Each structure stands twice: as C-alpha cells, then as structure tokens.
C-alpha cells in the first residue's frame, strides 16, 4: 500500500481522466445518435443502414477498433475520445430508434389529430415515451465506455488503464490492482446509478 499512499494524487488524476474520457465520449456519441436516430426512425432505408452499421460497429472488439483507428486518428486523448465515441454511438442510436418505434401508433395518431406540429409531437410525446429505452441504452453505453476507456490508455487516452498497463509492464502488482479495482468500482457505481434512474 506504500505506493498507493505516495501516489494518491496521480491515482486521483487517472480516475478523473477516466471519468472525463467516458463523459466526453458519451456526450459526443449522444450528439450524433439523437438526431440520427430521430431521422432514421421514420426513414426505412436510413434505418436499415443505421441499425446494420451499428450492429457491425458494436461487434468490433475494442482493441481491434483502436488498432484500425490509430493510423487514421493517431494517438492521444483526442484520438481515444473519437474512437470511444464511435464505439458508444451505435448503442445509443439503436436505443433511440427502438424507443421511438415503440411509441403506440394510436398515441401518434392522437397527437397528429389534436394538431401537434411534427416538432411538438417529437419533443412532447415521442421522445418522452422513448426515454426508458434511451436510458437502457445509456446504461449499456456507459458500461461499454468505462470498459473500452481502460483499453484506450493503450493509444494514449490516459485514465485508469494507464495504471493497469504500466503496472503490467513494470510487474508492479499494487499498481495493477489499484487500477483494476478502481475501474471496476467506477463501472459498478455508474451501473448502479443508472439502474436507479431507470427505476425512477
């Protein structure tokens, strides 16, 4: 535990970086997934392309995705951020599309019939009703991101993965365990928080 006590601040910084990486990637992914999902939900061709592409992208293992993106994006925080966002985007996109498609036709019909504009219908009826599905997607996306962000240390993304990877390199057991424990705790804490939100 000596190493831990001496390096509390750098451990804290790694944790902060990890959270930042996950949060920023999530925002970026949501900024793409939400409008794209809304568009795809009412256009069958775009929908098929988006859902198919999402399924493929989501099945690509983290390390493979990073390896394929490094020649394009280079190394560092920004590259890791983009790679992570492109990893979370498909999850959120699917959640938005399935959520919007789950809105009962009678409810849409009533909204149109009462004179809501398409925009009012989207914001007042469809998105609120898609919320449970979107929250479920968010939960999967966060779990995916916390995990993938660990590997992102390998392409210079920083975060808790740095402790694990340098620990593995140096044969520094304490460092490995601190990194692994913290990242597991982060994953569980985020998952628990989002599960609570889903119930509320």
Partner 1 sequence: MIELRGITKAWPGGAGVQALDLSVPEGECCALIGPSGCGKTTTLRLVNRLVEPDAGSIRITGQDALAQDPVQLRRGIGYVIQEGGLFPHRRVGANVAVVPALLGWDAARTRARVEEVLALVGLDPAQYRDRWPHQLSGGERQRVGVARALAADPPVLLLDEPFGAVDPLRRAQLQQEVLALLKRLRKTVLLVTHDVQEAVLLGDSLALMRAGRLVQHAAPAEMLARPADGFVADFLGADRALTRLGLFRISDVPREAASVPGEALPEATTLRDALSAMLERGVTALPVAEGGSLTLEAVLASR
Partner 2 sequence: MIGWLRDHPDVFLEALGQHLALSAAGLLAGVALALPAALLLARRPVLAGWVSGGAGVLRTLPSLAVLAALLPLLGVGFTPSVVALALLALPPVLLHALVGLQGAEPAAVEAARGMGFTPLQSLLRVELPLALPQVFAGLRTAAVQVVSGAALATFIGGGGLGDLVTQGMALLDTAQLLAGGSAIALLALGTEAGFGWLQRRWERA
Cβ proximity to partner 2: between 188 and 197 the closer is 188
Of residues 72-111, those binding partner 1 (CB under 8 A): 104, 106-107, 109-111
Q: From the list 39, 70, 82, 129, which residue makes contact with partner 2 (rule: CB under 8 A)?
A: 70
Residue 161 found at the interface with partner 2 (CB under 8 A): yes
Tell the smallest beta-carbon distance from residue 65 to partner 2 (Å).
7
Chosen from partner 1, partner 2, none, partner binding at 72 (C-beta under 5 to 8 Å by type)? none
Residue 115 found at the interface with partner 2 (CB under 8 A): no
Give burial (CB, 10 Å; 0-12/13-18/19+) of 12: exposed
Cβ proximity to partner 2: between 85 and 122 the closer is 85
Chosen from partner 2, partner 1, none, partner binding at 32 (C-beta under 5 to 8 Å by type)? none
Q: Which two tokens stand for residue 72?
A: 């394009």
Residue 66 found at the interface with partner 2 (CB under 8 A): yes
Tell the smallest beta-carbon distance from residue 115 to partner 2 (Å).
44
Cβ proximity to partner 1: between 1 and 106 the closer is 106
Residue 168 found at the interface with partner 2 (CB under 8 A): yes
Residue 165 found at the interface with partner 2 (CB under 8 A): yes
Q: From the list 64, 110, 193, 197, which residue makes contact with partner 2 (rule: CB under 8 A)?
A: 64
Secondary structure, 3-state, the chain? CHHHHHCHHHHHHHHHHHHHHHHHHHHHHHHHHHHHHHHHHCCHHHHHHHHHHHHHHHHCCHHHHHHHHHHHHCCCHHHHHHHHHHHHHHHHHHHHHHHHHCCCHHHHHHHHHCCCCHHHHHHHHHHHHHHHHHHHHHHHHHHHHHHHHHHHHHHCCCCHHHHHHHHHHHCCHHHHHHHHHHHHHHHHHHHHHHHHHHHC
First to last CA, the chain: 39
Instruction: Point out which residues bind partner 1 (CB under 8 A).
Output: 104, 106-107, 109-117, 120, 125, 128-129
């Amino acid at each position: 535990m000596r190493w831990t006590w001496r390096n509390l601040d750098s451990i804290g910084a790694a944790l902060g970086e990890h959270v930042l990486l996950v949060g920023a990637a999530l925002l970026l992914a949501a900024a793409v997934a939400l409008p794209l999902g809304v568009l795809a939900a009412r256009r069958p061709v775009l929908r098929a392309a988006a859902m198919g592409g999402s399924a493929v992208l989501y099945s690509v293992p983290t390390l493979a995705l990073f390896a394929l993106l490094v020649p394009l994006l280079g190394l560092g925080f920004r590259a890791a951020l983009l790679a992570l966002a492109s990893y979370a985007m498909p999850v959120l996109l699917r959640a938005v599309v399935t959520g919007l498609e789950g809105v009962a036709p009678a409810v849409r019909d009533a909204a149109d019939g009462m004179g809501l504009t398409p925009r009012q219908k989207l914001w007042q009826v469809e998105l609120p009703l898609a919320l449970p599905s979107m929250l479920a997607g968010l939960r999967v996306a966060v779990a995916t991101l916390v995990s993938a962000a660990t590997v992102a240390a390998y392409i210079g993304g920083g975060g808790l993965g740095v402790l694990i990877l340098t620990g593995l390199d140096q044969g520094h057991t304490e460092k490995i365990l601190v990194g692994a424990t913290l990242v597991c705790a982060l994953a569980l804490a985020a998952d628990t928080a989002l599960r609570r939100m889903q119930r509320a």
